[in-house]
Structure 1
Amino acid sequence: MQTAIVLVHWLLTVWGCMGGLPGSFAWGNFTVLAVGVWAIAQRDSVDAVLMFLMGMVVTVLTDIVHFGIFYPTLDLPNENRFRFSAGMAILSLLLKPASCFFAYQMYRERGGDYNVHFGFPSVSRNREAYQSIDQQDESTGPANPFNQAQDSKPAARTY
C-alpha cells in the first residue's frame, strides 16, 4: 500500500512541477517521497514511517502556502500547461490526508505508539495497580490498638 502511495504522489508531483510552481515545491515534496522510499525499503523501521508521516503533514501546509503565494492571477503564455500542472498539484494535495491516514496505520502496524505528553495530568484506565477495599484479608489488615484481645493483661504503667 505504501508503495502505491509513494508512486502516486511522485507522479503527481512530477506533473505538478511542470508549470509555474517554484522549485521549493519540488524540493519539499521529493524529499518527503525519498523518505517514503526509505520507509518502504526498511520494513521494520518505525522511525522511517514516522518521518514520512510528519513530512506529509508538513508538505500539506507548505503546499497550501505555495498555492496561496504563487498561483498567478494574470494570464500566462503557457496557460494550459500551468492549469494542468496546478491541477495535478492540487490533486496531490487533496490525496495527502488519505495518504497520512494510511501512513499512520502502517506506523501503528510496525509497533509505533505516538504518545505526546505536555505535562498535564491525565486519567489512566489501568486499574491493575489498585487493590479493592471491599475484600480485605483479615491477616493483612492493620492492627487496631483499641480492639485488643480480652484475655490479655493491661500493661504496667510507668510514671
Structure 2
Amino acid sequence: MPELSQIRNVNLKVIFLVHFIFTSVASMGFWSSTSYLFYNAILIFLLIWSIYQEQSHEPIQLAIVVNGSSIILDVLLLVMGFPSSYLARERFSSAMAILHVFVRPISTILLIKNLEERSGSSGVLTGILSGHSETYEDIDRMNQGATIPQSSSNAPGYGFATAQQI
C-alpha cells in the first residue's frame, strides 16, 4: 500500500470524500429539496475535475465559489425546510446537513490553500482582491535615467531629409 505522502492530491480527495458522504447522508430525508442535491452535485463534479486536472486553476476556483455560496444556500434551506416530523431519518439527515454547514468553511480554506499551492504563490485571494500583483513590472514605460540617442543634423548620411524611399 502506498504511503500517504506518495498519493497525489490527498487534500482534494479527502475534501471530495467528506462532501460526498455528507451530501449523501443529508439527502436521505424528505425535508431537503432537489436544490440541495443540485448544488452539491456541482461541487462534487468540480472536485472530481480538480483532482483530474492537476495543473488547472479553474476547477478549484469554481469549487471555492460554489462551496462558499453553498453555506448561504444551506442555511436558507435549513431555515425554510427544517423537518417538523419526529422521524429518526428526517432528524438524522437534517443534523448531517447542519454538520455539513460547519464543515464547509474548513474545506473552503483547504481549497484556497490548494489553489495557492497550484499557483506557486501565497496570498492568491489577496492579490485578486487588492487588484494588483507584487511582481508586476511595467515594461512599456522607459526608465527615467535612460535617454534616447538623438541624431544630430550635421551627422552625414542620417536624417529624414536624406533618406531614400524604398
Normalising by the residue count of structure 2, what TM-score does the alignment of the two structures yield?
0.66
The CA deviation string for residues 7-54 of structure 1, in whole angstroms up to 9 with x for no partner, is 111111111001111111111111111111101111101111101111
Unmatched segments (≥5 aa) in structure 2: 1-10, 139-166
Specify which structure has the higher proportion of helix: 2
Q: Distance in 2 between matches of 1:105 and 1:7?
A: 18
Among the aligned pairs, what percent are the same residue? 24
Shift of 1:56: 0.3
- Which residue is equivalent to 2:14? 4
What SS class does the counterpart of residue 129 from structure 2 fall into?
coil
Length, aligned pairs only: 123
Aligned pairs for 1:23-102 within 5 A: 23-72=34-83, 74=84, 76=85, 79-102=87-110
Q: Distance in 2 between matches of 1:25 and 1:60?
A: 11
Unmatched segments (≥5 aa) in structure 1: 130-159
Q: Distance in 2 between matches of 1:89 and 1:67?
A: 8
For 2:71, give the aligned amino acid: V
Segments ≥4 residues shifted beyond 3 Å:
none
Calculate the aligned-residue CA RMSD, in Å: 2.6
Task: Say which structure, 1 or 2, has more relative contact order (CA 8 Å, 6+ apart).
Answer: 1
The structure that has the greater radius of gyration is: 1
